[in-house]
Amino acid sequence: MQLSKDKILTLDKYIDEALYNKKSGYYMNSNPFGKNGDYITSPNISVLFSEMIAIWVILLWKKLKSPKKFNLVELGAGNGEMIFQIIKTFEKFPLIKNSCKINILEKSLYLKKIQKNKLKNYNINWINDLSFLSNSPTIFIANEFFDALPIKQLVKKGNKWYEKNVKYSRSKAPVFLDKLINIKKFEKKIGFEISNKQNFVEYSPLSIKYLKFISKIIKNKTGGLLIIDYGYTDQKMKNTLKSISKHKISNVLENFGKSDISYDINFKLIEKIVKKFGLKVNGITSQKRFLQELGILERAEIISKNLPFSKKANIYLRLKKLMDENTMGKLFKVMFISKKNMKFKIGFNN
């Protein structure tokens, strides 16, 4: 960050600059995915992951009485791999293929170029704002989307609350700085008592904004939101802020704009927020159980049946990474949010 003078930024503003500054932001100038990047996402581990998401979308579409027109929205599409595989799966089901308008919400111009190149043979609608969606039932997919949004952190010391800031200097390395806040005014501004029964608060203001808008669309036109992300289901919030560089944890205040900054989603907080907006959580489970229930192991058996051992082993090694409880299988959670009258438990029956 180029500063003409010393500056203090709230943590979320600092993260926003580090990740999304048009000139120096991490997501705006590089491809973070794959072996040469900083992390690998589920769609890039195995095509079976995206196939299972596609099957889930088809089943939800049928539950919605197979609308002749509906929106499928991927929130932050990375390198485009998941939506690419979803489209390939849809091609086997002409009715849904012809009914579906695919939309991608993407902030990064760099990643948008990668997506457009990968998806150049398909009719995709890129949007910068959810208000551009057509007036139809809408299914949202958020795979590792919410963890990439800037967060605020508040800490209680005695009976007082402080907000975490970053003090940035021309001559010194940046440092964290806690500034006293009026928690009552803070909560009035965001619309609910986020500090209730907490000693530490970690949340994304942008997440609340997105959830509010998505909730309005789902309530008005039906549909749902599928969230897949790493996180936890404890009632108590905790400090999970981290920076990732070359697949390893790094210092949040170092390598500005050159490493990812992320956090673990508190799914209980998301549940409280969507309930406030008039929706309900239809289910929450681990990634392992979700994929198992959708039949990923049976699908792996079918496609590997006549393959040589080396290719079959590769398929199952990739599945192990997706589903092992010591890796992504337990850490990653899946949540389905819908209207209050919706009953759809596929993927969440265990």
Q: Report the alpha-carbon angle 229-233-237, nearest 5.
A: 100
Residue 298 pLDDT greater than 80, yes or no: yes
Which residue(s) pair with 167 in the sheet? 8, 175
In one-letter notation, the amino acid at residue 162 is Y
Token digits of residue 272: 């409280």
% the chain with pLDDT above 90: 77
Query: What is the C-alpha to C-alpha distance for residues 270 and 265, in angstroms, rounded to an integer?
Result: 8
CATH architecture of 7-289+331-338: 3-Layer(aba) Sandwich (3.40)
CA–CA separation, 26 vs 138, rounded Å?
A: 30
- The per-residue pLDDT for 91 is 96
Helices (H), 191-242: 205-221
Average pLDDT over residues 224-246: 92
Helix 267-276, helix 205-221: angle, nearest 10? 50
Cα of 342 vs its chain's centroid, Å: 23
Question: At which residue do the structure tokens 């040469």 appear?
Answer: 36
Cβ(334)–Cβ(282) below 8 Å = no
Closest to 269 measured CA to CA, from 324, 191, 204 = 204
Residue 109's DSSP bridge partners are none
Residue extents of the structural domains in the chain:
7-289+331-338
Contacts of 173 (CB under 8 A, 6+ apart): 253, 254
Laid out side by side, the sheet with 248-250 consists of 248-250, 242-245, 260-262
Say whether pLDDT at 27 is over 70: yes
The pLDDT assigned to 30 comes to 64
Q: Which of 314, 259, 318 is nearest to 37 (CA)?
A: 259
For β-strands 70-75 and 100-105, DSSP reports them as parallel
| C-alpha to C-alpha distance for 298 and 290, rounded to whole angstroms | 14
DSSP element (H, E) containing 109? helix 109-118
Verdict on whether the full-model pTM lies above 0.85? yes
Confidence of residue 259 (pLDDT cuts 50, 70, 90): confident
Q: Report the pLDDT value the prediction gives residue 40, as an integer from 0 to 100.
A: 75
Can you give the length of the chain in residues?
350
